[in-house]
Structure 1
Amino acid sequence: MWRVSAADGGRKKSLVLRHQIAIWDVIESCDIIGSSDSSIKNVVPADIAGLLCKTQIERIYVNGTLAKTLYDRFALPATGIDAGKLPSTSPANARFRLEQLIESWRTIL
C-alpha cells in the first residue's frame, strides 16, 4: 500500500485521484515480523466486498504474489471479481527494475 509522505509533495495522492484509482490493502491486520511477508500470521482480511458495495469499482489489481494469494483466499469468494496480479513494488522484489515496474503498472491506467 502506498503511503503519501510530505516529502513526496502529494504526487502519489494526486496521481491516484486524477486516475480514479482506489488503494486498499487485502489485509486489515495481521501479525508480522518486520516487513517479512513469510512471517505473516493471524490474518484478518479487509472488507473489500463492503467497499465494492459502496463504490463503482470496475477492476481490481494486487501488488505481488502474496497479495494475489490472500485476495483469492479471502476476498474472491465474497466479491466474485478476479484480481489482476502486478509485480510487487516492494524493495525486496529485486527481479524488477523500476522501468519494468512502471511498464507493468501502466496497465491500471
Structure 2
Amino acid sequence: MTHSIYTVHEIEPVYNEESRILILGSFPSVKSREAQFFYGHPQNRFWKVLSTLFHEPLPLTVEEKKAMLRSHHTAVWDVVASCEITGSSDSSIRNVVPADLKRITDASPIRQIFTNGGTADKLYKKYCLPQTQLPAIRLPSTSPANAAWNMDRLLSEWTKILNFL
C-alpha cells in the first residue's frame, strides 16, 4: 500500500517581467520532482503542445524549456506549494498550502491565468482566486492520465493561450 507523504514543491517558477500568461498545474508529479522541472513525465504532452502552438522545436533540456517559455511571454508554476500526496495522484492531494502567486502577478503584466486540468482549476479557485482576483481559464490536462484527449483535441483547446500573448 502506498502512503501519502507530506511533500514540498521545490521547483522554482518560470517567469520574468515580460510574462503575459501564467499556466498553473496542480503539483509536480513524481517524475517532475525527480527531474526538478515541470512536466517531467515523458508521456506528458505539455511541452509538445506548447512547442507546436509556438512553432518551435520540441525543447529537451530544462534550459531550452525555460528559454521557450520566456521568449513567448509564458510563466509556469503550480497552485500548490506543499501538500500530502500519494505518488503523483492529484486526487490524493490533501492539506494544501497554496503557492504565493503574487510573486509572479506583482512582477509580471499577467493578462490571463490558465489551469492545466480539473484539479489545478479546482484548487486555484479554492486557494488562489481570493488572493489574485484573476479568474482562470481551465484547459484540458496534458497528463498522460487524460487519455480521452488526443493531441489534436488538446491543441484545439490550448490555442486559447495565443489570444493573450
Q: Shorter-chain TM-score: which interval?
A: 0.7 to 0.9
The answer for the alignment partner of 1:26 in structure 2 is 79
- Larger fraction in strand: 2
CA displacement 1:62-109 (0-9 Å, x = unmatched): 001111110001111111110000000111001100121122112112
Identical pairs, percent = 44
Q: What is the letter of the counterpart of residue 8 of structure 1? A: L
Write the distance in 2 (CA, Å) between the matches of 1:108 and 1:75: 20
The answer for the alignment partner of 2:95 in structure 1 is 42
Task: Give how far 1:11 is off.
Answer: 4.5
Secondary structure at the aligned position of 1:95 is classed as coil
Secondary structure at the aligned position of 2:104 is classed as helix
Write the distance in 1 (CA, Å) between the matches of 2:133 and 2:147: 32
Q: CA RMSD in A?
A: 2.0
Write the distance in 1 (CA, Å) between the matches of 2:152 and 2:68: 18
- Larger fraction in helix: 1
Write the distance in 2 (CA, Å) between the matches of 1:86 and 1:3: 15
* 5+ residue gaps, structure 2: 1-24, 26-37, 43-58
Write the distance in 1 (CA, Å) between the matches of 2:114 and 2:154: 14
1:1-109 equivalences in 2 (<5 Å): 1=25, 2-3=38-39, 8-9=60-61, 10-109=63-162
Write the distance in 2 (CA, Å) between the matches of 1:14 and 1:106: 20
- More contact order relative to length (CA 8 Å, sep ≥ 6): 2
Task: Give how far 1:15 is off.
Answer: 2.6
Asked if structure 2 preserves the Cα contact closer than 8 Å seen for 1:64 and 1:89, the reply is yes
Secondary structure at the aligned position of 1:62 is classed as strand
Secondary structure at the aligned position of 2:124 is classed as helix
Cα 1:54–1:13 change in 2 (3 A) is closer
Write the distance in 2 (CA, Å) between the matches of 1:12 and 1:105: 18
Task: Give how far 1:49 is off.
Answer: 2.5
Cα 1:12–1:107 change in 2 (3 A) is farther
